[in-house]
Amino acid sequence: MNMFSLNGKVALVTGASYGIGFAIACALHDAGATIVFNDIKQELVDKGLASYKEKGIEAHGYVCDVTDEAAVQEMVAKIEAEVGVIDILVNNAGIIKRIPMCEMTAEQFRQVIDVDLNAPFIVAKAVIPSMIKKGHGKIINICSMMSELGRETVSAYAAAKGGLKMLTKNIASEYGEYNIQCNGIGPGYIATPQTAPLREIQPDGSRHPFDQFIIAKTPAARWGEAEDLGGPAVFLASDASNFVNGHILYVDGGILAYIGKQP
């Protein structure tokens, strides 16, 4: 199992104070990596540090807006000086605005693109030079099923994640010769605090309509857990995936493979 070991590696997971990023960072730590994360506010970084400490993880937290190129360059330089050169980058930070396309302003559209697509470009660009010098590197972009599918109210998110899928393939194409592997993880519908209202049992004892919809569309017949992303992340961060490049690994319980039940 040594090929899955991350001992001695430094992993930066953006926006990993909670949720999917936190679960991925914990899995990388359990495989041996030193965890570094950022968030946009000190309050969120402090909460993240407390959550890692509860799990016995000595993480390193930084305040940084990943859409600010100068701030990202400064953060990466600090991490290299204080922790070490980044071996693994997980571009996890992201936002979604559920607004019908014709009601969404161009400014709102640009904000989603900025966080979900421009920021991964900015952070990857900041860490790649040192990865080249070190002779290896792993970049994991958190894409989405919306890299492949459309749905009402998520035009900006789907556009950003589709772009991130292609950025993933292009980083692999451009820097593969330097022993840098860039892959993506496409989570399905994950049970997080943010999606909890969509899974609440209704007053009559039935499932929420959206919950019913997701269960019916998922061959696994359940929502994913954030921990379901840990194994795929460790695989893509480790030597076990050294010849896997430009791939999007969908962790969706089979949704993308399934046409759905006949009405």
For residue 77, how many C-alpha atoms fall within 13 Å in the half-sphere facing its CB?
A: 6
Cα–Cα dist 28/22, whole Å: 10
Interatomic CA distance for residues 157 and 230, integer angstroms: 23
Is 252 strand, coil or helix? coil
Centre a 10 Å sphere on the Cβ of residue 204 and count the other Cβ atoms it contains.
5
CA dihedral 226, 227, 233, 235 (to 10 degrees): -150
| Extended strands (E) in 98-239 | 137-142, 180-187, 190-191, 224-225
Q: Which of 52, 62, 157, 189 is catalytic?
A: 157
Tell me whether residue 157 is one of the annotated catalytic residues.
yes
Residues 6+ apart with CB under 8 A from 200: 208
**Strands (E) located in the chain:** 10-14, 34-39, 60-63, 88-91, 137-142, 180-187, 190-191, 224-225, 248-251
The gap between the terminal CA atoms of the chain, to the nearest Å, is 45
Nearest 5 degrees, angle CA 250-CA 99-CA 209?
65
Residue 208, burial from CB neighbour count under 10 angstroms (0-12, 13-18, 19+): middle
Q: Catalytic site residues?
A: 157
